[in-house]
Amino acid sequence: MKHDERIPLSGSWLAFAGLVPLFVAATDLATGFAMAGACLVVHSTCAAIALFLPQSQARARGFAVSLLGGAVAVGLYSSVVRALDPLLFERAFSRLFLVAFLAPVMRASVPPEGEAERGRGWENVLRGLGLSLAIAVAGFFRELLATGAVSVTGAPVSQGVSLLPFASHPAGAFLLLAFAAAGAKAFTGTMGRNNR
């Protein structure tokens, strides 16, 4: 299938596509925070290990060491989540261990080639922060749309009016992502027309 040149495949869109399992798992704010924290910890760990490895080391070996560090980090993070809230851990554990092997984390695990790339290493940490924030916001909106209210603790709420009851299902995550992508495309299209 030939690539349509009108559709840009930027790193941001590919990163969001790689995080779809976490967007689907973030059905409420508490789970969204858990997934966002896992993404931030693992992404930052992999980016830091890849950045601080010596340049003399082979890139494939650096990639493997960085991913191994990410797997250890997600194990430690899940232990903290289990100690703080066992019920949240039970709801989220199947997806927590997936975080170390998602596309944005693997991209962060690739060691930089030259000094110019090494100097921009902090951008990787900011990218992880932005992706984590997007996961938490998706959990917030999914809970708001599904229940009409938001609970920080993850306890069921019944005060609100449900706007989209199926937002708590996987289809709701895909619908929310479609709305976000359409809004971003409309915003960039408007900005592009204003700059001409």
pLDDT of residue 1: 40
Contact 32, 132 (CB under 8 A): no
pLDDT in tens, 21-40: 888 888 888 899 999 999 99
**Residue 177 belongs to a domain:** yes
**Residue 1 belongs to a domain:** no
Of 54, 36, 33, which Cα lies nearest the Cα of 44? 36
pLDDT of residue 121: 76
Contact 69, 46 (CB under 8 A): yes
Q: What is the mean pLDDT of each run of 10 residues along the chain (196 residues)?
A: 52 77 88 93 92 82 90 94 91 88 88 78 84 91 82 66 78 84 82 69
Contact 154, 28 (CB under 8 A): yes
Domain ranges, residue 163: 11-195
How many residues in the chain?
Answer: 196
pLDDT of residue 11: 65
Classify residue 169 as left (phi > 0), alpha (psi -120 to 50) or beta: beta
Contact 115, 133 (CB under 8 A): no
pLDDT of residue 153: 64
pLDDT of residue 74: 94
pLDDT in tens, 136-150: 999 888 888 888 777
**Residue 3 belongs to a domain:** no
**Residue 5 belongs to a domain:** no
**Residue 161 belongs to a domain:** yes
Contact 64, 142 (CB under 8 A): no
Structural domains of the chain, count: 1
**Residue 2 belongs to a domain:** no
**Residue 6 belongs to a domain:** no
pLDDT of residue 73: 95
Residues 177-183: contacts with CB under 8 Å, at least 24 apart: 177/16, 177/20, 177/23, 177/138, 180/138, 181/13, 181/16
**Residue 182 belongs to a domain:** yes
0.85 exceeded by pTM: no
